[in-house]
Structure 1
Amino acid sequence: MEVTGIDVYTVDLPIAEGTYDWAGGNSYAEFDSTILRLRTDEGVAGWGEVAMLGSAYLPAFGRGARAGVAELADEVLGADPTQPAVLAERLDARLRGHPYVKSALDVACWDLTGKVRDAPVADLLGGRFGDEVDLYRAISQGTPAEMADSVATYRDQGYGAFQLKVGEDPVTDAERIRAARAELEARHVLDADFNTGLTRHEAVRVVDAVSDVDVYVEQPCDSYEACRAVRRQTDKPFVLDEVMTGVDAVLRGYGDDAMDVVNLKISKVGGLTRARAIRDLCADLGVAMIVEDTWGSEVATAAIAHLAHSTPADARFAATDFHNYNAVTTADGAPPAAGGTMAASTDPGLGVEPRLDVLGDPVAVYE
């Protein structure tokens, strides 16, 4: 089998709540998604998606993903998509860095491989642990009262874990954390995600101000070194995200005792092939994982569900149902997500079928 064509689509994903806001004054009403299809000489097709949180979150952006696919297209054409690890090595040799560019291509290979083997991607990634995966709900940045109200709303919908978007200033962030925690019971999990928004001394002030609150602290500062310094001044469980970019970063963090949880985003590390390697390492080391991506619709959420469901339960902190944050549906067959849990499809591949009427005409075709 070989890839004979690549169809690239772009779709804007409007936020159902109006805007999505986080540290650094970042506020978006919609996100740019690239969805692509790999066609083969045997008539089987695979789908993948990459969507970035704008251009100020990571060194990545929507149009860059499509430019990168153009750069890599001739390396993908003619390749065997049922050997995603082999293709991943070829793509890394062809284009240094830019993992987000390779992610949708890699996910499409896994979707296609599952269809060829008549198996869900979760089975290919190691098997299905349990019947469902616990979800967290990200709470867009706002006033303490607004964020507490959002937490209460999603708590009543069944979510058991919440990622609070903070990272503005120490006083307001501490108020947000306290207000949100007041809406929750002891069984609920609260993660204060600073998204690199504070300096080291500001972050120390926040963790000191909420020393009596049951909360996780996620990526308070931009650099690994600053986060590690804050970690050493608090007894709160610590999550690292933006600086966890690969196996080497995880090993360094583990050796330095710099975190208790890592945020594993599929596109941040280059797709399911690289994410699986990091996932297996973390599981072996006893480091729990938030399994998610940098955004996306039904295709990306399906990939998240399969990776999360094939992760041992004691290594799985939570996962994300990003398709439920959007005001548009790009595919049928999204992972069932209700009551704060999600389950990967049992259909072959990712189990989703994109809606071509929503995607429109391809913005690029490579053959």
Structure 2
Amino acid sequence: MRRIGVLAGIALVAAAGAGAFWALRHRPVEVPVARMEQGVPVRVFGLGTMEARVTSRIGFEVAGTLVVVLADHGDRVVAGQVLARLSPTAQQARVARSGAGLQSAEAQQLRVAAALERATAQAQQKRSLANRRRELAARGNASVEVAELAETEAVIATADLAVARADLAVARAALADAQAGLLAEQTALAKHTLAAPYDALVVGRQREPGSALAPGEVVFTLVDADTLWALAHVDEGRAGPIREGQPAVLRLRSLPGEAFAARVVRIGLESDRVTEERRIYARCETCPPRIILGEQVQLEIETGRLPNARLVPENAVEGFDGATGRVWTIEGGALHRREVRFIARTLDARLALDPDLPETLAVVTQVSGTMQEGRAARPR
């Protein structure tokens, strides 16, 4: 009898445990479901750096020794402002020599021009004399020999006139060459002065006075302060909705707690083939007091705003391919799996359900291991 009692007790405990297990497994489970939200912003995240669209690394076109540097990094300069100078002594001597050569060419031209006037007068005088001698010889008042001699002298004077004209042309060419030589030397002298090509911000000073420079060696790095912008890299899978003119929020790494309003001004036409990212350029509308080129920035671009949306966390969606995925739903008081479509993804890793999905369909937002097809459930 005692043995039968023990067995009966064990059976009762087992039955109670089985009943409790069945009750726990089949009782309706409470699960959170997606609720309708209003004014949901859809943003895309990008990481990049601060850059300048107009950047110039300027230096002298000629070689020389740097003697004066008039600007430093952080200075704002205006177009035409002198930034540095090379030692001009040797070039000034070349300019002086070219100037003397020009004066010599001018004097030579004046001398040749005077010789031309003299040759012109002599040719006219000789031609007049030859004509008179010919007339006298024709009337018999002068010998033919004298007339022929006068004609010969007139021809020689005409030839001398042609030579004088040629000498004048040569003198003019020599003068033009001297003028061009002087202009070339003066231009070279002007290149010993380095001026700002536009209104700019000096972001780098690479050389100091006393440095011997080669042609084209960089002395300053300039940027147009009005062309500063953020270059952000955005994943191709999320860059499709981005358009020029969309608002954005810009955050600098040096000022993580501050946000600055910006706007998309350019979308790169070529993606990075390795990282599969698209280049997005945004210009700040409320800029920080100091911008450092190359500083890391975070860009949040608002591509749209959903007036009404139900959002599901990505970790509650199985097989998400960028547009569709499987979610748990409550239909007829029981859990079911359903393939649904999503229209947007937010920065906090939530997916917006297709508005065509019936609002009465409850979509589960938190998945647990106890969930199974057909189990009774009710929204929490």
Question: What is the TM-score of this pair, normalised by structure 2?
Answer: 0.20
Whichever structure has more strand as a proportion of its residues is: 2
Please identify the structure whose Cα radius of gyration is greater: 2
By percentage of residues, which structure has more helix? 1
TM-score by length of 1: 0.20
